[in-house]
Copies of this chain bind each other. A is one copy, B any other.
Amino acid sequence: MPRAAVPAYEQVKAFIRGRIASGQWKPGDPVPSEAALMQQFGISRMTVNRGLRELAGEGLVTRIQGSGTRVAQLHRISSRLTIRDIHEEVAERGHVHSTRVLLAAREKASAAMAQSLGLRTGGAVFHSRLVHLENGVAIQYEDRYVNPAAAPDYLKTDFTQVSPTLHLLQHAPLTEASYSIEACLPTAEEAKELGIRRTEPCLAMMRRTVSGAHVASVARLVYPGSRYSFAGQFQA
């Protein structure tokens, strides 16, 4: 028997997705059991199981052991938000990325910063400030503090060649991160470096990354509202 071009478990997924998308199966409705789908498709249970398990992972169906599989209540469509290197992001748009380095220094940690990074107050901390440009236009002001324990060579990096994010991704494998995005007005310094008025609203992303046992970095990324937006797509 020749293998189909599209795997059997994908066929099962497509079948169920279709019923849900077309509205034939509504939230809360039962999905055929693994045994039923085995018969219907003439395939083994492991294969059916894989299809259903993946649909559950995508949030399209809910499975309860002993009870059965049902169409998920709210079709929570979700997209993946990813920490990316801005250089890569700009390059993907076919544009030229460049960097203006404002500061790259070793400093003594303030109490607040020490707390954030899990250091002792007054301990050494790396501090960088730079502006990212896309085709020569400033799109991001990056103010970052780095834990020397997580990335000891941070300051040796030429940030015009390797962005701080990339250096950190390569030297301090991410294990955890948190972020928040808010709207704010730029500080005088930020406005000056970004070349915008102080009244222009900006997106600010606060990001804290953890690598293994260390908090690796705390950053504030400021984007002019008129030049940048976060966009994404959801797919069921």
Contacts and interface: CB of A to CB of B under 8 A. Distances in A.
A162 interface: no
Interface string A161-192: 00000100110011111111111110000000
Interface string A57-85: 10000000000000000111111111111
A181 B203 contact: yes
A174 B203 CA distance: 28
A27 B233 CA distance: 28
A180 B229 contact: yes
Interface centre among A27, A77, A183 (most CB of B within 10 A): A183
Contact of A181 (B57, B212, B231): B231
A21 B175 contact: yes
A225 B170 contact: no
Chain A at the B interface: SS class: mixed
A7 interface: no
B78 A180 contact: no
Interface in A11-69: 20-23, 26-27, 46, 57
A113 interface: no
Size range of the chain A interface in the assembly: 35 or more
Contact of A202 (B169, B178, B180, B201): B201
A223 B201 CA distance: 13
Contacts of A169: 74-75
Contacts of A2: none
Interface centre among A75, A180, A228 (most CB of B within 10 A): A75
A233 B177 CA distance: 6
Contact of A231 (B80, B180, B212, B234): B180
A232 interface: yes
A212 B115 CA distance: 49
A154 to B, nearest CB: 16
A91 interface: no
Interface of A: 20-23, 26-27, 46, 57, 74-85, 166, 169-170, 173-185, 199, 201-203, 212, 223, 225, 228-236
